[in-house]
């Protein structure tokens, strides 16, 4: 059977602004590196020479396919900062040939965006990408891999929606990949880990400005920026609603001093007591990884829940003393 699987044993270094230092480490480690631009190619070659190793590379090609997602997380359309300009493909191929001692072209890559809910979009991209594979192979390159990226969404609204799985993505492009004797690489990311974690908050209080009700919590946009950055929806519920509590419509907001600081808007919830627990679901992707100390908010602790229900701390919460260590030695 022809090779078709998720690549598990090789790392892939992607990005449009990789530094020379990063690339040297990648070259020394033998990972795949995606070529994103002319200067990126130059830096990869320089890193290969420093490391004294030939670097396996993929060309990140922009297929100009609309992933039908928020524009901030659309990465495969013509206006994106990612990928090479397709009209310069020949220039890249000629350059790669001239650097054959330093780099080896082993495949092509594209990534359409994040929170994608329709696998047909991946078939559209794969159709374009295998045509590029044919064109590149015709010039003598022995391409082995097609990296179709990832970006599958999850059911953030908790409506019971049936969304595509990584296997659905694979099955959508299977025939195209097999027809070209390629190894498929996918990047399932968010769809595997987003719903594995939640962001736990404590209610500081409830208030009204006369026209809108607010649940104020100790969490904020500093710990979870997706709602304010993308207008993203994440499901919110109280840990233990008080029996008989009045249900009302609230914005769930934090203590940061700007109006962008919200975790959810217009949510119907039982009115919580001061100190009640409030959970923001599906924080496994792009919560702690995007967290900051904005407004001197310290990043919280993280806990692992074992299969038997026991809880283990896996990351300590930051303290003000931790923050001040960055300024040791400065004059008072």
Query: Which positions are catalytic?
Result: 257
Q: DSSP 3-state assignment of 147?
A: strand
Of the candidates 282, 122, 290, the one whose C-alpha atom is nearest the C-alpha of residue 190 is 282
Of the candidates 162, 80, 66, 168, the one whose C-alpha atom is nearest the C-alpha of residue 121 is 66
C-alpha distance from residue 82 to each of 167, 265, 316 (Å): 26, 32, 35
CA–CA separation, 110 and 79 (whole Å): 14
Count of beta carbons in the 10 Å neighbourhood of residue 238: 18
Please give the DSSP secondary-structure letter assigned to residue 278. Answer: E
Residues in CB range of 99: below 8 A, 6 or more apart: 41, 45, 48
Provide DSSP, 45-68: HHHHHHHTSPEEEEEEB-------
27's torsion region: left (phi>0), alpha (psi -120 to 50) or beta? alpha
Q: DSSP 3-state assignment of 89?
A: helix
Of the candidates 89, 131, 85, 133, the one whose C-alpha atom is nearest the C-alpha of residue 108 is 133
Where do we find the tokens 């594979």? 133
User: Strands 55-60 and 311-315: what pairing?
Assistant: unpaired
For residue 48, give both structure tokens.
């290969």
């Amino acid at each position: 059977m022809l090779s078709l699987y998720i690549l598990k044993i090789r790392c892939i270094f992607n990005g449009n602004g990789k530094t020379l230092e990063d690339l040297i480490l990648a070259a020394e480690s033998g990972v795949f590196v995606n070529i994103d631009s002319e200067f990126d190619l130059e830096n990869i070659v320089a890193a290969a020479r420093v490391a004294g190793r030939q670097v396996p590379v993929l060309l990140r090609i922009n297929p100009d396919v609309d992933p039908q997602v928020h524009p901030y997380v659309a990465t495969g359309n013509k206006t994106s900062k990612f990928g090479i300009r397709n009209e310069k493909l020949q220039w890249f191929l000629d350059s790669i040939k001239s650097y054959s001692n330093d780099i080896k072209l082993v495949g092509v890559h594209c990534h359409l965006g994040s929170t994608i809910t329709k696998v047909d979009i991946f078939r559209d991209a794969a159709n374009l990408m295998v045509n590029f594979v044919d064109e590149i192979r015709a010039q003598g390159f022995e391409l082995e891999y097609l990296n179709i990226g990832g970006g599958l969404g999850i059911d953030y609204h908790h409506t019971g929606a049936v969304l595509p799985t990584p296997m659905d993505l694979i099955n959508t492009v299977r025939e195209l990949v097999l027809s070209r004797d390629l190894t498929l690489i996918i990047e399932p990311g968010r769809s595997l880990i987003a719903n594995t974690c939640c962001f736990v908050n404590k209610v500081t209080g409830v208030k009204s400005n006369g026209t809108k009700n607010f649940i104020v919590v100790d969490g904020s946009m500093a710990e979870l920026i997706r709602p304010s950055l993308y207008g993203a929806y994440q499901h919110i519920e109280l840990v233990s609603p008080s029996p008989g509590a009045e249900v009302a419509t609230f914005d769930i907001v934090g203590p940061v001093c700007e109006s962008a600081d919200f975790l959810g808007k217009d949510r119907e919830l039982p009115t919580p007591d001061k100190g009640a627990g409030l959970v923001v679901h599906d924080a496994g992707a792009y919560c702690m990884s995007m967290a900051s100390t904005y407004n001197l908010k310290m990043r919280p602790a993280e806990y692992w829940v074992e299969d038997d229900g026991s809880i283990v701390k896996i990351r300590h919460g930051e303290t003000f003393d931790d923050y001040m260590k960055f300024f040791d030695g400065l004059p008072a």
